[in-house]
Structure 1
């Protein structure tokens, strides 16, 4: 039987809501959730959208049982959120089922541009549509910037290899 983090294409699809719950309860490490999410193909944004909808439905159910709406700690300051966002890694899924994932030091943010959630150990918070759209744009920007830096670094490495090869080849004396 395969583990939830098994990237094998023949592995059964994880129970996403169960995996989120297990992470929030401390039963599995965060990588048990982020690993399978990041292994989804670029055309599998619909899976992320379904997860977001399921999490929002669960949040509404829990809020109904408590008699209150989903919310975040009122103590969360702007500086804390800024630090969290600056430390994020991002993953995006392409259209037509666009979605984005931000993995911060203490939270996970999932968005499809229309709706989104902030996941933490203690619970989750639904995001307004405007924030969800901005977070999807942020995810896409981070990924594009990372790809650009990777391409630039790859170009530098290629040039270094060419330079080192030409230098070392010029130092070889011909046999006479």
Structure 2
């Protein structure tokens, strides 16, 4: 039997993180229109929204109410994070892209950890669907693998000095 009180906190923490990640990837996709990063970010935006919806459905299955304060705080926190200058005061910088991709990687790693942990507990409660959880864990792993080369390229673009033409 799963301890409902702790499960509620755990799932709401992940919902808050998923909310912030979705806002971040939407901004990153918009800021990278017309670049080599746009397609992967738009696809990730769609998948993060689907993963967040899967988490909400899981919460409903367990009758876990959404902690609106926690989710709203994460939403606002992501917006406030935009105020941090990344060597450019008013414009998007290569460092902005690199840091956004790194934060998205951390979020994907956290989401993967959630699905793997719940998969490990599937014997404790029949409401945990092992096939669904495995598919979600696999998708998180695929997202992480897909975004990694883009993250590395963005860090290189931000940190390696290039001769100006």
**TM-score surpassing 0.5?**
no
Q: Which is bigger in relative contact order (C-alpha 8 A, separation at least 6)?
A: 2
Output the TM-score relative to the length of structure 1: 0.26
Structure of higher CA gyration radius: 1
Q: Which has the higher strand share?
A: 1
Higher share in helix: 2
Q: TM-score, normalised by structure 2?
A: 0.28
